[in-house]
A and B are shown apart, each in its own frame.
Chain A
Amino acid sequence: MGALDLSIFSLGSLFIFLLPILYISRYLKLGINKSIIFSMGRMCLQLSFVGLYLEFLFKLDSPWLNGIYLLMMISIACYSILKSSRLKIRLFFKPLFLAILIPFTIILLFFNGMVVRIDNLFEAKYLIPIGGMLLGNCLRTIIIGLTNFYSGLKKNEKEYLYSLSLFNNRIQALKPWFRESIVAAITPTLASMATIGLVSLPGMMTGQILGGSIPIVAIKYQIAIMICIFYTEYFSVILSILFSLKKGFNSFDVLNTDIFQKDYS
Chain B
Amino acid sequence: MISFESISLDIDDAQIFSGLNLYVNENEKFLIQGRSGMGKTSLLRLILGFEQPKSGHITINGLPLDKTNIYQIRKQIFYLSQDIDLKDEIIIRLLTEILEYNFPSEPPLKKINNHLTFLELPQGILQKRTRDISGGERQRIGLLIGLLLDRPIWLLDEPTSSLDDAMKEKISAHVLSLNKTIVIISHDPVWKNNSKVTIKRWS
Partner of A159, one of B52, B75, B86, B145: B86
Cβ of B57 to closest chain A Cβ, rounded Å:
15
Give the contacts of A172-223 with B (CB-CB under 8 A).
172, 176
Give the contacts of A28-80 with B (CB-CB under 8 A).
none
| CB–CB A168/B85 < 8 A | no
| CB–CB A166/B85 < 8 A | no
- Indicate whether A166 sits within 8 Å of B149 (C-beta atoms), given known contacts A161-B50, A254-B49, A254-B50: yes
| CB–CB A165/B74 < 8 A | yes
Total contacts A-B at CB 8 Å? 49
B interface residues, tally (CB under 8 Å)? 24
Cβ of B94 to closest chain A Cβ, rounded Å:
9
Q: What secondary structure prevails in chain A residues at the interface with B?
A: helix
Chain A residues with Cβ under 8 A from B86's Cβ? 159, 162
| CB–CB A167/B102 < 8 A | yes
A158 contacts chain B at the CB level, 8 A cutoff:
yes
Chain B residues with Cβ under 8 A from A162's Cβ? 79, 81, 84-87
- Least CB separation from A173: chain B residue: B87
Compute how far the CA of A253 lies from the CA of B45 in the bound complex, rounded to whole angstroms: 13
Residues of A within 8 A of B (CB): 158-159, 161-169, 172, 176, 250-254
A168-B102, A253-B49, A254-B49 given; name 16 further pairs at CB < 8 Å.
Answer: A159-B85, A161-B48, A161-B50, A162-B81, A162-B85, A162-B86, A162-B87, A165-B77, A166-B102, A168-B74, A169-B101, A176-B87, A250-B52, A252-B50, A252-B52, A253-B70
